[in-house]
Structure formats: structure tokens, C-alpha cells
Amino acid sequence: MGDIDPQTLAGAGVAVGLGTLGVLVDLTLQLVPAFALDLQVDSAPADELFASWVERTAADDHVEAFWFPHHPRAITKTTTRRPADTAPVPRSWFGRTVTDGIVSNAGLAALARAADLFPRQAPWMNRTLGGLAPHRVVGPSHEVFVSHRTVRFREMEYGGPRAFVAVHTVHGDGRARAWFAELERILVAAGGRPRWGKMHSLGAAELAPLYPRMGGLLALRRQLDPDRLFGNASTDRVLGLTARRG
């Protein structure tokens, strides 16, 4: 195994190696000047929101929507870049401490577990509690874009050219996988591709048609690591090449 330059990776059509091409010893980051973010949290009728999704995402820097099944409205989060010296608009103490710190974490976990115990009441719970008060926050990007999260999710995410769909649950691993399997069939049929850092069940045979340049990665791996020392059970599944275990 020897050194490899970025041009070789680009020529093979490889953007991500999953750790299977060797050890990374030198990294160059391409950065942009610091900027502020203007975050607007609101809600919109779910049907109208999803029908106008392409137009919304084209008009703003970053758009997210959170929908609780059975709720008629969806929470929207729209962020727009501003100059770094833009006057800040901080989150209120109540919003930061109660809404973000308690309701969106402990409250969300309690709601999910209550719905698990009383599944017939889940639609009513979601319609009653699935929302956030509208508010606006302006500040440094690294402070505004992140969310404080203490509740542990299991998550599956699939995406396409204009949107990603992420599905969250607080169920245990077994129940989460059973639920995700049903949703995964829908997302794959719609042409979605999985986000590999989150839960999905696709193997090499299912992934290859979704990634036309997969062959470039496999060829480069055979060249750089013919003994397949760099791999594990996860890469075995998604790449279809068994790593040699020492």
C-alpha cells in the first residue's frame, strides 16, 4: 500500500472511502469566512408545506420541516446567512430553558413512551402536542444551527436531489428496525439513497445501482489494499468484500 493523491481519487470517481482505502495522515480543509445565521421557527399546514417544498428550498439557504404523524401542521425551521457582524437576536430565557431544554427533550421522550404504552392515543397526542411556538434567533452560525439534544433517537434518513427524509424513533433497536423496514421500502421505491451514517438495511447488491461510481471505489480498494486489511462487518455488508480478520 502506498500514498494516494487527490487526483487519483477524483479520477476514480471516489469522494468517500469509508476508511477502506488506508490511513488518512494529511487533511486540508476548505473554509469560508465566519457568518451569522438568521433562524425563523414557524409552522405551516403540512399538505401545503410538502406541496411547495421545492420552491421553499430554492428560496432559502436551509429549510427543515418536522412533522408529527396525524398533526395537521408541520414545524418549519428556515435559516438564512447574514454577515458575521449582524446584530444578534438571542433566544429568550423561557424558550431556551423550558421549550428547548425541557419540552423538546424530556417532554418529547415522555410523549414517545406514552404513545408506545397507549398506541391508540398516539394520533391524539401528536395532534395536541406536536408543535413549537414561533420564534426568531440570530447569532453565530455554530451556535444557531445546532440543537441541544438529550433524548436518544434511532434514525433512518434517505435523500434525493432536493430533499432528505429522516425518520426518528425512541424505540429500542429491535422495534426501530422493524418499523424502519416498512418505511425503507417506500423510500427506496421513490428513488431515495440512504445516509450511511444512520440506520439502513441495504447491502452491496441494493446499493450498487444507486451509486454508478461504486465500481471506482472497489477497483481502487483492490489496488491499495489487496489483502483487505481495512474493513469491518459494516463495510463488508455495503461493499460486498469481506475484510481479512487478524
Domain match, 136 and 208 both: no
Integer angstrom CA distances of residue 128 from 70, 144, 174:
10, 27, 28
pTM above 0.85, yes or no: no
Amino acid identity of residue 202, one-letter, is L
Residue 246 has pLDDT above 70, yes or no: no
Residue 39, in any domain of the structure = yes
Domain end (from 113, 131, 151):
151
Task: Report pLDDT digits (tens) over 121-156.
Answer: 888 888 876 667 789 999 999 999 988 888 888 899
Residue 213, in any domain of the structure = yes
Containing 158, the helix (H) or strand (E) segment is strand 154-159
Residue 184, in any domain of the structure = no
CB 207 within 8 A of CB 196: no
Residue 26, in any domain of the structure = no
If one counts the domains in the chain, the total is: 2
Domain match, 128 and 42 both: yes
Query: What number of residues does the chain have?
Result: 246
Domain match, 142 and 213 both: no
Cα torsion 223, 226, 230, 232 to 10°: value is 120
Residue 95, in any domain of the structure = yes
Across 53-79, average pLDDT: 92
- Domain range for residue 239? 202-245
Residue 15, in any domain of the structure = no
Residue 72, in any domain of the structure = yes
Residue 87, in any domain of the structure = yes
